Structure 1
Amino acid sequence: MNALDLFITFFKIGAFTLGGGYAMIPLIEREVVDKRKWIGREEFLDLVAVAQASPGPIAVNTAVFVGYKLMGIKGVIFSGLGSVLPSFIIIVLIAAVFTEIKNSPTIEKIFLGIRPVVAGMIFASVFRLGKSAKINRISIIFVLLVAVSIWIFKITPIYIILLSIIVGSLRYLTRGNKI
């Protein structure tokens, strides 16, 4: 593996994924865990968790963390550029012709057709990550409480993330470990 392999892998994922970060996660997993075996599944799950809790788009964060794990700062640069450049190029091209196509019924129908596919990819990502996260009854209850807190009670996710960090740290420390 070299920096160019890292760049091409993330460029390809970024270029051929619709729907944003969460839709990219299963493709990143397939490439770096299953196909190339650059990192293990457990470690990938940990990287995704950190990427999700970090500011910024989850797919770019995941790419950057994978790049750092594999090649340090050089990996960050190549994986980060690989994941961001396709979107940048596409946005520049769309911006150049957007005023001409923005009210096109064909374009609206295309996007209506893409939405269910994106939703399915996100669901598949959540399901696949959930399977490798060693889910138990307590985890399921926790997931439901978080979903209800955000959806019904409109609690900002940042408070839930901060609370999770505190609870996880306290649990870790009460088991005799040191941070």
Structure 2
Amino acid sequence: MKQFQLFLAFFRVGMLGYGGGPSSIPLVHKEVVNKYKWMNDDEFADVLALANTLPGPIATKMSGYIGYRVAGVVGMINATLATIVPTILLMIILLTSIASIKDLAWVQGMTKAVVPVVGVMLAVLTWDFIKKSQTSLGWVKAVLLFGLSYLFIELLGLHPAFLIVGLLVVAILQKDKVVEAEESS
């Protein structure tokens, strides 16, 4: 039953994730955290952060890891195939027919209409992460990290992977200081 649920969850993501990886993230969150409860929000945030640091399509990386976590190697293969098979089939079907209809107004309108919907889905997920950051860090640290992240990523052009690795190093160093302080007291 778990294999079927994995396949179904990631098949839906593959079918409805129009617009690439960023549009898939909120869909994966709905399936994994809200519907099947295979992870909580913090675990999902960790998976998302790690997946963003690695090369390749994010939906495939997330489905592989989550599938492995839920049902081992078979679950990983199942979830990954469920994510990519719809895209492969749709690409074959669409690419064979798109040339003849790409200039139609309704096709162009449909493509343009999807962009704001994906933007709203990402904004909702972002707001959820901001609220969770506020709960665990407090507003001051959360806003400070948000602002610094924006500065480094958008204004200075730093790749998000470097920022995430830097934050991981700081967290590890702080943990070591806490452990040392506990040992000396």
Scaled by the length of structure 2, the TM-score of the pair is: 0.83
Q: CA deviation at 1:135?
A: 4.7
Query: Are the structure 2 counterparts of residues 164 and 69 from structure 1 closer, same or farther at C-alpha, using a change threshold of 3 Å?
Result: same
Structure 1 residue 164 corresponds to structure 2 residue 144:
no
Corresponding residue of 2:94: 94
When structure 1 is superposed on structure 2, of 165-174 and 71-80 the one drifting more is: 165-174
Contact 2:67/2:78, CA 8 A, preserved across alignment: yes
Q: Percent sequence identity over matched residues?
A: 27
Written as runs of structure 1 = structure 2, the 5 A alignment for 1:25-174 is: 25-133=25-133, 134-136=136-138, 137-174=140-177
Query: Are the structure 2 counterparts of residues 22 and 130 from structure 1 closer, same or farther at C-alpha, using a change threshold of 3 Å?
Result: farther
CA RMSD of aligned residues (A): 2.1
Partner amino acid, structure 1, of 2:171: G
Contact 1:51/1:65, CA 8 A, preserved across alignment: no
CA distance in 2, matches of 1:151, 1:35: 34
Contact 1:33/1:44, CA 8 A, preserved across alignment: yes
Query: Are the structure 2 counterparts of residues 146 and 111 from structure 1 closer, same or farther at C-alpha, using a change threshold of 3 Å?
Result: same
Contact 1:7/1:78, CA 8 A, preserved across alignment: yes
Q: 5+ residue gaps in structure 2? A: 181-185
Q: 5+ residue gaps in structure 1? A: none
Scaled by the length of structure 1, the TM-score of the pair is: 0.86
Contact 2:52/2:161, CA 8 A, preserved across alignment: no
Structure number with larger C-alpha Rg: 2
